[in-house]
């Protein structure tokens, strides 16, 4: 009887060790998969960041162009008919 009981506990111990080994392998594989997936996501985010930065640079250049005093003066004269005030048109309020 003692031998059978010993064999039973050895089987339980070996089964438990095998189960722990399988769980460890599964956990390692899952973590590895997650690391690879996050790496791909990081590459995508970095690419999006570069695109947004490039768009931001283009927009800043466009803003600077649109704010040029020469351009605004020409636009005011041609499109809106504005001109510099003549003598006597400027009134200073006190």
CA distances from 45 to 4, 21, 31, 60, 89 (A): 61, 36, 21, 22, 58
Mean local confidence (pLDDT), 17-23: 98
Residue 1 has pLDDT above 70, yes or no: no
- Give the pLDDT score at 18: 97
Q: What is the pLDDT of residues 37-84, one digit of tens each?
A: 999 999 999 999 999 999 999 999 999 999 999 999 999 999 999 998
């Amino acid at each position: 009887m003692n031998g059978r009981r010993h064999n039973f506990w050895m089987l339980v111990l070996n089964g438990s060790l095998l189960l722990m080994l399988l769980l460890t392998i599964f956990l390692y594989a899952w973590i590895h998969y997650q690391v690879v997936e996050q790496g791909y996501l990081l590459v995508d985010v970095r690419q999006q960041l570069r695109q947004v930065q490039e768009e931001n640079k283009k927009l800043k250049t466009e803003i600077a162009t649109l704010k040029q005093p020469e351009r605004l003066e020409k636009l005011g004269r041609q499109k809106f008919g504005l001109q510099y005030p003549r003598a006597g048109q400027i009134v200073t309020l006190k």
